[in-house]
Amino acid sequence: MALTINTNPQKPNGEIEETISFPRFDVVSDVSDHHYITSSFTKKNGRDHFPAGSHKKIMQEWKILEKHLPESIFVRVYENRIDLLRAVIVGTAGTPYHDGLFFFDLAFPADYPNHPPMVHYRSFGLRLNPNLYANGRVCLSLLNTWTGKKSEKWNPDESTVLQVLVSIQALVLNEKPYFNEPGHGMWPGRSIWEKKSTAYNEDVFILSCKSMTFLLRNPPKNFEGFVRSHFRERGHVILSACKSYLSGHVRVGYYLNEGSSGGGASSPGPGGCVDVSEKFQGLIVQLYPELVTAFSRTGASLGSLTEQVKFERKTVPFKGEGVLKQKKEKNTSGIARKVFGKIKVALGLKKNGVIKVNN
């Protein structure tokens, strides 16, 4: 199956936009911006050469990917570098990664499948998951880059690249990534951990939105049209989510929209309103115009969503205000007593600190 995308989203003369089919799996030639482009393997006739067994296994991987990729994952392999592969995962609805695009560059080792593929996340220097480092490192048991049971680690006889990609989508880019960090999931359900998870989701969504603007400025090769088309179609949903999160009408990460992956309507929090941190609100207000500009350049239909958002900062009473007030009252009453005492002395009602009583 393939996704239909517009290659020319804006036509000032009103002509019908050109559309092409974007297959979920395809073979391309331009490998120039791949993270592992400098990886060296045995060369033969100017091309990378693998032992027969490794070459056969890689071709099997291609067939598996071509036939079984889910709708939210797209892959490109290279005709002159069969050792390299690029994949993009679309963020799933119901997670703080919804509607984002997450790119991964993979490289097969020369002795594949004895060892798992190397995987690099194109992070733009952002850390938006405990398993995805700012330097691009991907920590996953299946890649042998993280601890796990034997059954969770790479098995040369059974493991595949498709399993790696699906695992990243389901186990890494999930609903509550905070609990991916070791130790954070020891007491799930406790309010303190859930609050930390909610705060983490706020940070994740902000970073995911920043990644969107970076991707639109510098899309990976062979995915330029796909990136533009995706955000042209999903821009209004992302901005609507920002507004819903800002107002506290929807818990961050749980915005669902008709036509989004997962479908359905917006999901409110308990009582129809949720608490959102002022830090998150302030960052959304700053980031929102950047998103509007980035999505508008793709030709996205945004309507009233182009209007700037704002929030009113809550005024929280100073903790010591009550104490200060009490001290002030005490000081005031003390001064009043002194003044009243002086008046009594002046009137002869008080002498040597003793009040006179007239018979």
Written as one letter, the residue type at 80 is: N
Residues 117-135, mean pLDDT to the nearest whole number: 97
Which distant-in-sequence residues (6+ apart) come within 8 Å of 258 by Cβ? 264, 265
Q: State the pLDDT at residue 341.
A: 56
**CB contact set of 310 (below 8 Å; sequence gap of 6+):** 285
Q: Give 279-291 as a 3 state SS string.
A: HHHHHHHHHHHHH
Q: Which residue has the tokens 């939105």?
A: 209
Helix (H, G, I), strand (E, B) or coil at 182: coil
In percent, how much of the chain has pLDDT > 70?
72
pLDDT score of 61: 98
Cβ count within 10 A of residue 310: 10
Q: C-alpha angle 66/72/77, rounded to 5°?
A: 40
pLDDT for position 202:
98
The tens digit of pLDDT for each residue in 295-341 reads 999 999 999 999 988 766 654 444 444 444 454 445 545 555 554 45
- What SS3 class is residue 312? coil
| CA dist 55 → 112, 117, 154 (Å) | 8, 14, 19
The dihedral built from the CA positions of residue 237, 243, 246 and 249, taken in this order, carries a sign that is negative
277-281 long-range Cβ contacts below 8 angstroms, 24+ apart: 277/199, 277/202, 278/311, 278/313, 278/314, 279/202, 280/202, 280/203, 280/206, 280/245, 280/252, 281/246, 281/311
3-state secondary structure of 2: strand
Mean pLDDT, range 125-143, rounded to an integer: 97
Q: What confidence score (pLDDT) does residue 262 get?
A: 37
CA angle 85, 87, 89 (to 5 degrees): 165
Catalytic residues: 139
CATH number of 25-258+272-298: 3.10.110.10
Residue-wise pLDDT for 72-117, tens only, equals 999 999 999 999 999 999 999 999 999 999 999 999 999 999 999 9
Per-residue pLDDT reduced to its tens digit, 252-263: 999 986 444 433
pLDDT of residue 14: 41
- The more confident residue out of 183 and 352 is 183
Is the CB of residue 256 less than 8 Å from the CB of residue 265? yes
Q: Which single residue is written with the structure tokens 């071509």?
A: 66
